[in-house]
Structure formats: structure tokens, C-alpha cells
Amino acid sequence: MSPLSSSHTVALVCDFFYPNMGGVEMHLWYLSQCLLARGHKVVVVTHAYGDRQGVRYMTNNLKVYYLPLGVAYDQVIFPTLWAFFPLFRNILVREGVTLVHGHQSTSTLSGECIFYARTMGYPVVYTDHSLFSVSLEDGIASVVINKILEITLADVDHIIAVSKACKSNLLERARVDGGRVPVTVIPNAVDGSKFTPDPSKRYPRDTINIVVLSRLVHRKGINLLTQIIPIVCDKFPQVHFIVGGDGPLRAMLERMCEKHTRSDLHHRVELLGTVAHCNVRDVLVRGHLFLNCSFTESFCMALLEAASCGLFVVSTDVGGIPEVLPPSMISLAKPNAEEVLRALEEAILIQATEQKASSFCSSSAGEKELQVIRQRHSTVCAMYSWPEVAKSAERVYDQVQANRRDDTLLARLRRYAIVLGPTWGLLACLLAVCMHLLWCLCDFVWPANKIERCIQFKEEEEDGEEEEEDQKSR
């Protein structure tokens, strides 16, 4: 490990974390593990998940605060306004946090903690993982999220986007001035050691297996998928679909299988339900092709995992997806049934030709296919690495600490007034003043110097090893 320019104590804050599994959750997990490996201290702040409450220690002594906050919808907490502030302040002081890193615009916890941290003068970095419309076409929820995000980002130190498309979308919908707040693109990555190809695991045999892995919700294009599957199965008798994931639209896929009995979809479409992340690779290596029908994606880590396992990808051309893989590894189509069907049929025909050649000349054709699969894996591993993501985040942290701004209340109020205008700026200023008064009250009732600091177990272990060596030498 290279020597660090400075060591940080980072609080990663988000509603979404283990045991919930998704793109944001995996990003937080791998980022925290790589930062720990680089010598930084990391704590994760999230809400309780069922019986998973209180303080938990995970791999490499990653400390996670599962806090007793009520969940409103889709693992997002109810807004607490000022109620959570004293507890969050206690965590930051106890852990000796030097920087707060919030994630995801739909996370209420992240937005509140960013506001709390700025009140106390902590530098704040924010990472956005999603794309949202700037109009009412996605509903009133997207408009509300955009306005809250605009207020939140008016006073952060640095912004990270996971793709260029995500960056441009964020700049537009949150009205972020890139000259005022630096915005850096740091993509997601994949753990190539866990997503290795193995063509011998393809099952069923003598078929072309198409894998779909996603949450079964509208924005993932499940409506599109139900239109495509019956047509593909009618046209290609050798095709077999493997669908992993769960969600409210699973019933739509089940009805599709019941309706098209002539194509025997009950036996040709596997609905696996929820797939644990540790089993994702086992599902991917069964396939030849990976299909993604999403209507919106800022990056899509599932494409990396599939390509790392050697699958050719067919995907809708939306959001940041064109940035993820080179053209030799992916076929892009407009997000409608006709275009996705055309791209998928072309990929199936190519795969069928390769299988036919392999059956006639098994040694040379099979070896050539294996080389292509290995090349896809090595290409993905070379392009995307979690340690490199952590290094990029570390550079952002260094930059933020080196360029500290004026964090006085007056300076913050001035920023809100300039960025948000007279109406929303006044509201943000009132909130900032109320939060500042609450902070002063907390400092009076519970002085920071009276709050007990947390024990650093890593240091204790090193001290214990030194004591054992001293005893042996004696």
C-alpha cells in the first residue's frame, strides 16, 4: 500500500446498506472496505433493518450504526427534521469523524445528515447514483426530490457522480453550478475475483440461455420484458430464459407464462425470485447472453458483473449505459420492444452460429469462444477496480480538506441566499439558523469534550501483539 497523503475518518451515510442488496449498497460496501485497506477509518450510518439494530462490526472491523429510525417507504426513513441531530452529533464526536460522505438523492437519512454535518462545520462529499426527470413526467416525487436535493447541495464541498450522464442530469435537475461546487465522475466497479467466467456451468445444456437479473419494477423495463419473451421463445425454440430478482411486477411475468402455454413458457422461463449477491455469479455463469431492459440507469453494475462472467450484453441505450462497456461487449437498442427484440435476435443468431460451429469442430471453435470469454473478463477487470475507485475518492477527500471554506453561519446563509434565490433561500436560511441554535443547545447540555471517544480495536490489537513480543523477548 502506498503511503497516504493524509488519513481520514469518514462517515458514510445512506438509508441503503446491508442486509438490503443493490447497486448503492454494494458501492458503499466495497468503498468502505477499500478505504479501510488504505489505512482510513470508516463508519457507516444507516437505519435498522428488522432485528439488525444498534452497533455491528463487519469485515475488517467496519463499524455500522443501525439506528432506530422509522421506515416510510422502500427502505427510506421518515423525515426527522431536528430529532436525529443530537444522536448524529454524538456519533461524529465519538468516532472522531473528519469528513461526512452522503449517498443517493432518494435517501432521507443522507440529506438530513448532510445538513447536520454542515451545521457543525464538517466537510461534506455527496455521491449521486440515479437519474431523475427534471419535469413532471416521472411524477411529483421526482420534482420534490430534485428540490430537496437542490437545497442540500447548495452547501456541500464536493459532488461525485457515477457516470457522465449522471453528472449532466444532476447539474440540470439540482441546478448545481459546476464552477461553485466541484463535480467529479467516479464510476462504479466490479470485484473481478468474485465474478469469474466458467462456461462449463451453463445449464440447461444445448440451449441458448438468456439471463435477466434486476428488481422486478417498472423502471427496470419488466413491461418490456413481458412483450419480448413470448416472441423470442416462439421464434427460437432453443432459447431458455433465467430471470432472477423479485418485486411488484413478478405477477406480470407469472401471468405471461400462464397465458402463453403454446410456447411452454412455464418450462422455458425460470423465475428464481430473490438472488443473494453471493449467488449472483452462480446464476450468471449459466448464461450465454445478459439482457437489460431498463428505462433509466445511471451506471448499472449488473452489466459489469455479467460481462466479467463472460456474457455478451444486450441492453437498452439509456442514461450512462453507453459509457459502461466497449461496443464489442454490448449491443445497445432504443428502449422499445421492436428495437430490443432486434438486438436480442441478432445476438441469439450469432450465439447459435457459434454453437453450431462448435458442434462440428469442437476443439478449435470451443477454444476460440473460451478466449473471447476470458478476454471479456480481463477487459472488465482492467477497466473497473474498486481499489481505484477508493483512490479517486481519497483524492477528493484530500482536495476537500485542503480547500476548506468559510463554515461560519453567516457564510452559509449567504451561500443559501445566492444559490437558492429569495424564496427557497429564505426557507433554507431559517432551517440553518434553527439547526445552529439546536447545535449550540446540544453543546451546552452535552459538551463535546465530555463525550466518551470510541476505542480503536485495530490499535489495541497492535498493542497486544507488541506486548506479546515483549513477553517473549523477556
Residue 56 sits in a domain of what CATH number? 3.40.50.2000
Instruction: Indicate if 228 and 347 belong to the same structural domain.
Output: yes
Tell me: do 339 and 261 sit in the same domain: yes
Same domain, yes or no: 345 and 203: yes
DSSP 115-129: HHHHHTT--EEEEE-
Last residue of a domain, one of 344, 377, 410: 377
Percent over 90 (pLDDT), the chain: 76
Report the pLDDT averaged over residues 442-446: 95
User: What is the predicted pLDDT for the residue at 355?
Assistant: 78
Model confidence at 468, in pLDDT bands (50, 70, 90)? Answer: low
The mean-pLDDT minimum among 248-252, 374-378, 457-461 falls in 457-461
Beta bridge partners of 270: 242
Q: Residue 470: inside a domain, yes or no?
A: no
Give the percent of the chain with pLDDT over 70. Answer: 92
Q: For residues 131 and 163, what is the distance between their CA atoms, to the nearest angstrom?
A: 10
Q: Is residue 473 predicted with pLDDT exceeding 90?
A: no
Integer distance in angstroms from the first to the last C-alpha of the chain? 33
Region of residue 280 (left: phi > 0; alpha: psi -120 to 50; beta: else): alpha
445 pLDDT more than 80: yes
* Whole-number Å distance between alpha carbons of 207 and 237: 9
Instruction: Report residue 353 CA to chain centroid gap.
Output: 37
Domain containing residue 258: 199-377
Question: What is the arithmetic mean of pLDDT over 273-290?
Answer: 94
What total of structural domains would you count in the chain?
Answer: 2
- Mean of pLDDT values over 223-243: 95
Say what the pLDDT of residue 363 is. 58
C-alpha gyration radius of the chain: 25
CA 339 to chain centre: 28
Last residue of a domain, one of 334, 350, 377: 377
| pLDDT (mean) for 129-133 | 86
pLDDT classification of 360: cutoffs 50, 70, 90: low
Residue 178, pLDDT score: 66
pLDDT at 177: 79
In a domain, 473, yes or no: no
Each as own residue / partner, the long-range contacts of residues 439-443 (CB below 8 Å, 24 or more positions apart, any chain) are 439/85, 439/89, 439/119, 439/120, 442/85, 442/86, 442/89
Give dist(CA 403, CA 406) in Å, integer: 10
275 plus 367 within the same structural domain: yes
Residue type, 397: Y
**What cell numbers appear for 223 in the block?**
413491461
| pLDDT band for position 361 (cuts 50, 70, 90) | low
Q: What letter would DSSP give residue 365?
A: H
Of 212-216, 303-307, 361-365, 447-451, least confident by mean pLDDT is 361-365
User: Is residue 139 pLDDT above 80, yes or no?
Assistant: no
Within 38-163, where are the H helices?
85-95, 108-119, 140-152
In this structure, the answer to whether residues 204 and 177 fall within a common structural domain is no
Query: Could you tell me the pLDDT band of residue 137, with boundaries at 50, 70 and 90?
Result: low
171 in a domain, yes or no?
yes
Please, what is the Cα angle at 143 between 154 and 24, to 5 degrees? 70
Range name among 120-134, 213-227, 365-379 with the lowest pLDDT average:
365-379
Whether residue 394 is contained in a domain is answered as yes
What is the reported pLDDT for 362? 56
**pLDDT surpassing 70 at residue 236:** yes
Report pLDDT for 196.
95
Res. 170: pLDDT tops 80: yes
pLDDT at 459: 47
Cis status of the peptide bond prior to 204, with omega within 30 of 0: yes
Pairing status of strand 41-47 against strand 99-103: unpaired
Per-residue confidence band for 4, with pLDDT thresholds at 50, 70 and 90: very low
Check the CA dihedral 443-446-449-452 and report its sign. Answer: negative
Which of 86-100, 127-141, 346-360, 422-436 comes out lowest in average pLDDT?
A: 127-141
> For residue 2, is it within any domain?
no
The candidate with the shortest Cα–Cα distance to 213, out of 122, 309, 145, 123, is: 309
Give the pLDDT confidence score for residue 314 in this predicted structure.
97
**Mean of per-residue pLDDT scores for the chain:** 90
Q: Please, which pLDDT band fits residue 73 given cuts at 50, 70 and 90?
A: confident
| Residues 364 and 428 placed together within one structural domain of the fold | no
Is the model's pLDDT at 333 over the cut of 80? Answer: yes
